[in-house]
Amino acid sequence: MDRCSAWLRDRTNLREIGDYVEITTPYLDRHNGYLQIYAKRADSGFLLTDDGYTIDDLELSGCKIDSPKRQAMFRETLNGFGIQTNGNTLEVKASADNFSLRKHNLVQAMLAINDLFYLASPAIASLFHEDVIAWLDLSEIRYTPSVKFMGRSGYDHRFNFVIPKSKVQPERVRRAINRPNRDFERFKTNTFRKCPGCDAQLRSASSSMVKQRRNPP
């Protein structure tokens, strides 16, 4: 845990901009750029914000969060990490005691909402997540959806499915990735593999899993 926390600290840069402190994190967005958030003192604590970057970037990329399904996914993601909106800005209040956790939650929410970009593709006939659920149900595979785990660092990470252990297989944690590309591989490498002591596993469920209807394990 100490080594993981040290890894995050060593790769986080701070810069003062007026009343705010710009925090450049080691996490990558889909453009392969480091995510930045901003913090300032507010009341008896701090206000953390993305300065509108996440939603503005989606809209500029042609992905507007205007349909009921996208709105529901957007709100579910924010609620899962305890993040609020102020116009197009994502923000959360923090105290000195929970500053690191709130910062982590804001960054994780930005990464999760950033994934809504892939819903802008006209080639997507239906949400991949729903396809995975349909395949699991069809294959009679037991699972628990949308589970959040606390890692060794004390930070939370959300996964799409947990498949319970059986007589021949251990318990498995799965995250459904609709388009596992080079950006996703860079994200895994920079976020987890270079982090000593962090043993989180990222598993991708490709669309071929849905099409091939493989036999359940």
* Residue ranges per structural domain of the chain: 2-120, 128-212
Question: Measured in Å, how far apart are the chain's first and last C-alpha atoms?
Answer: 33
- Check: CB of residue 37 under 8 Å from CB of residue 24: no
Spatial neighbors of 69 by CB under 8 A, at least 6 apart, are 127
What confidence tier does 204 reach under pLDDT thresholds 50, 70, 90? very low
Using N-to-C axis directions, what is the helix angle for 53-60 and 99-114, rounded to 10°?
Answer: 10
Q: How far apart are CA 50 and CA 88, in angstroms?
A: 9
What confidence tier does 179 reach under pLDDT thresholds 50, 70, 90? low
Nearest to 164, CA basis, from 144, 150, 148 = 144
Structure tokens that stand for 63 in this block: 């992905």
pLDDT in tens, 42-59: 888 999 999 999 999 888
The C-alpha angle 127, 89, 161, rounded to 5 degrees, equals 30
- Alpha-carbon distances of 132 from 60, 126, 148, 212, rounded to whole Å: 29, 11, 18, 12
> The domain 2-120 is classified under which CATH number: 1.10.490, 1.25.10, 3.40.50, 3.30.1460?
3.30.1460
User: Is residue 71 over pLDDT 60?
Assistant: yes
Q: Identify the pLDDT of residue 91.
A: 95
Structure tokens that stand for 113 in this block: 């909402």
pLDDT in tens, 86-121: 999 999 999 989 998 999 999 999 998 888 776 665
- Alpha-carbon distances of 137 from 83, 129, 168, 176, 210, rounded to whole Å: 32, 12, 20, 15, 11
